Every structure is written in C-alpha cells, then in structure tokens.
Amino acid sequence: MNIAFTTVLLFIILAPGFLARIAYNSSKLSVADSNRNLVNELTWSIIPALTLHIIFVAIIQNATRYSVDFVQLGNLVLGTSQNADARFAQLNDYKYAIFFYNLILFKTSFVAGYLLRKMVRFFKLDRKFRYFRFSNKWHYIFSGECLDFPDVPDEYEEITNKIINVLCKVNGRTVLYTGEYFNYYVDGKGDLEAVHLKYPIRRYLENDKAGDEDYYVISSRYLMIPNSDIININFKYINFEEVDEAELSEEEKDNAIQLSE
C-alpha cells in the first residue's frame, strides 16, 4: 500500500473540518492569512473534523445496521500491506455506504460552519471574546462594533450615524475629505484598499482654523478614496436621539440639533 493512498485517506478524514472552516470564514468578516497554507488549514481542521466524525459514527453505530471497523481503518491509515487485498475487497462491498456517509458528512460540515458563524454573530461572541474575533479588523472599526469590545466604554447600539474624516495627500497638497460612511474595501491580505464616502465635502488643510464656509461640496453622491492617498482616518460615531424640548436644560438646548420636518 503506497503513501499516496494514505495521504488521500487522511485528507478525506480531515475534509469535514476543512469544509467547516471554509464555511465559517466565507464572509467579509474574514480575510486570507498569507502565512497559512493547505497544511496549516488541515492542521486547524483536526478538532472540528474529529468532533463531526465522532457524532456521525455514534449515529451510525446506534441508529443503523452498519458499524465502523476501527481496526481496519487504522491499518489503512498506517498503510500496512498485510491482508491488503481482503481489506480493499471489504471496502468495495460497502463503497456506496461509505460514499453516502462522506457525502452527508461533508454537506453537514459546511452547514455547521455556516451556522456556527451565524451563532457567533447573533450572540456577539466575537465582540465579547477575542478568541472568537474574525480576522478582518476593518469591519469592527468601520461598523463601530469595536465599541462593544470589553476595554471600550461605549456601546455599538447607540450609533445612529458614522462620519468619517479622511486626511489625504493629493498633488502635493493636504486635503481633508469628510462624509458619511458608505463602504470600505480590503485586499486579499486584509489591508485597507479604499474608503467609500457618501455626501462628501472637502477642504485644504493649509488653514486648520477654517470654518464651514471653506468646505467645498463635491458634486457627487459618493466618493471613493484609494488607500494610497490616505494619511490617516478619523471616525465619528454619532448617536441621534429624538427628545422632547421641554425635558432639555438650557445647555442641552444650545447643543441640540433641530431637524425640520
């Protein structure tokens, strides 16, 4: 029995964990890690793969007429050549059962990874515990979910609007772009690629004491700024709350924003 067969067999055994990880990381919340390769992914897949196999084997052993011959499985994994013909003949007798076992297991693994991601997001485990945090750090910053991190005193639920100031270098001049957050883009390594603003305005930064009249309203609803032009970014997480004017103090009335109907 050659090493190629053993390699394929090990890959099939670990594939459920690999598929579960693919489903778990298949969203904008995750970015590719350039330091990981197929071997790393399969290594990280051992625990979920074994967990899924244990569950499925328990079901097979207790709910069907089939059973798993662990002695034969061990011999196949180790690649021992003794009685190899007899073992392969036995595999041939149960080839359809083995095929459907793996097919159902693979599909279940993918769904399990997807549901686990949904559960982590629903219960906000990625905000509460660093271990569950996804690899795309920009998602938490641009969405404002970073405010729910344990060491941050604010709360994400209080955000009703997000204003972004983007300081850029354009044609040798420093320009400040301001607008509502619309979207952001990252490359395959997880580095910021561009920022997308809504209702953008800009002004040059030569006079840092400039007033609102120095802002130029860009005649476009959206503006995309490439990261290559960006010096730094300032985030303003705003909470607009509708209140009764009679309940406000004089100082609060001066700071309140009135919206016309």
Q: Does residue 259 have a pLDDT over 60?
A: no
Alpha-carbon gap, residue 117 to 125, rounded angstroms: 10
pLDDT, tens digit, 9 for 90 and up, residues 220-230: 899 999 999 99
Helix, strand, coil fractions of the chain, as percent rounded to 5: 50, 20, 30
Report the alpha-carbon angle 135-136-137, nearest 5: 100
Alpha-carbon gap, residue 70 to 76, rounded angstroms: 10
Contacts 24+ apart (CB under 8 A), 198-202: 198/222, 201/177, 202/175, 202/176, 202/177, 202/178
Give the pLDDT band (50/70/90) at residue 133. Answer: very high
Percent of the chain with pLDDT over 70: 85
pLDDT value, residue 91: 78
Per-residue b/e over 36-70, b at no fewer than 16 CB within 10 Å? eeeeebbeebeebbeebbeebbeeeeeeeeeeeee
Q: How far is CA 4 from the centre of its chain?
A: 34
pLDDT, tens digit, 9 for 90 and up, residues 32-69: 776 666 677 777 888 999 999 999 999 998 998 888 87
- Which domains are assigned to the chain? 3-125 (no CATH), 141-238 (2.30.30.100)
Check residues 68 and 175 and name the one with the higher pLDDT. 175
Check residues 97 and 33 and name the one with the higher pLDDT. 97
pLDDT value, residue 171: 86
User: Among 102-106, 158-162, 165-169, 195-199, where is mean pLDDT lowest?
Assistant: 158-162
Q: Does residue 243 have a pLDDT over 60?
A: yes
Alpha-carbon gap, residue 130 to 228, rounded angstroms: 30
Check residues 129 and 81 and name the one with the higher pLDDT. 129
User: Among 39-48, 53-62, 124-133, 183-192, where is mean pLDDT lowest?
Assistant: 39-48
